[in-house]
Amino acid sequence: MVKVVARPNESDAQLLRRFKKKVARSGVLGVVRKKRWHVSKSEIRRIEKKKAIRRHKRRQRMRRR
């Protein structure tokens, strides 16, 4: 769970910005999105394979440069 304590003389906007950064870095939203719907194991494997292919192609492009 992400907690943010207000600093002295910190505005609400700054506090909210700091909170959003902490949430993004913690990866909480990604977990929530993944658990929102049931995804079968075969579907997960297919998605992971696509990710691996994209990652491999991206690395090959970077090596050419």
Summarize pLDDT for 2-53 with one digit per residue, the tens: 899 999 999 999 999 999 999 999 988 888 888 888 889 999 999 999 999 9
pLDDT at 49: 97
What pTM was computed for the model? 0.53
Q: Are 4 and 18 in contact (CB under 8 A)?
A: yes
Cα–chain center distance at 10? 27
Crossing angle for the helix pair 12-26 and 28-35, to the nearest 10 degrees: 60
Number of neighbouring beta carbons within 10 Å of residue 11: 10
Q: Are 15 and 33 in contact (CB under 8 A)?
A: no
pLDDT at 9: 94
